[in-house]
Structure 1
Amino acid sequence: MELTPEQLVAEFQDAVMELYFARKRIAVLEAENAELRARLAATGESDT
């Protein structure tokens, strides 16, 4: 399957947008993970 230059550009733009949103989601998940780890650590400290 051969793509035209316009199709290649469109595919590239789609991939860039997917990467952009994936990176944003990763940042949100990392922040959530850090918060959960802090809560877990605080819970562990209060149990001892």
Structure 2
Amino acid sequence: MPSTFHPAWRHGGALVVAHDVVGGVFAFSGGSPREASRPGEPGGIPHVCP
């Protein structure tokens, strides 16, 4: 995740579904989150902190 906002940034293998007020995101996990160093299980919606 970039340290500053970048409009072209994409969370690889996941779909961002919401942002929180401090810069974190809620992302629907697709594929294999652990292989991409992300928390959660496939099909889950974990919170990813900045």
TM-score by length of 2: 0.19
Structure whose alpha-carbon radius of gyration is higher: 1
| Larger RCO, structures 1/2 (Cα 8 Å, 6+ apart) | 2
**Higher percent of residues as strand:** 2
**Higher percent of residues as helix:** 1
